A and B are shown apart, each in its own frame.
Chain A
């Protein structure tokens, strides 16, 4: 988990911003069993199309590819990724 945190802290956040991906925040579960291996974060996009374009550009970024390859050199540091797109409700403080 420290490896994943380090990758985000040292590389991924900067590359996200390069491709227009706004970061809302990062969290870990308070459940001790989940805290050791679970990272949760939220990104903000202008639209679903913008999100798709950002992810495509991110995935093709040579810098990201180098970071990802190096971070996985001793084995994949990610076991699973889940993704959910959302829009704020009309009563959400985010609107």
Chain B
């Protein structure tokens, strides 16, 4: 393949778009909230406050 601007520019655009998409989705995944489910079992102890 002959390296010319007509071949290099599309390749570079693909690289930039792909990198940007990867960066976006990795950041989006990191921005996802974490939820914490907690189940408490109480005793029959009483308290004064």
Contacts and interface: CB of A to CB of B under 8 A. Distances in A.
B40 interface: yes
B48 A95 contact: no
Nearest to B37: A84
Interface in B1-49: 30, 32-49
A72 B36 contact: no
Contacts, number: 115
Interface of A: 1, 3-4, 7, 10, 24, 37-48, 50-51, 67, 70-88, 94-95
The secondary structure that dominates the A interface is mixed
A70 B42 CA distance: 16
A76 B34 contact: no
Contacts of B44: 37
B32 A48 contact: no
Contact of B37 (A47, A71, A86, A94): A86
B37 A83 contact: yes
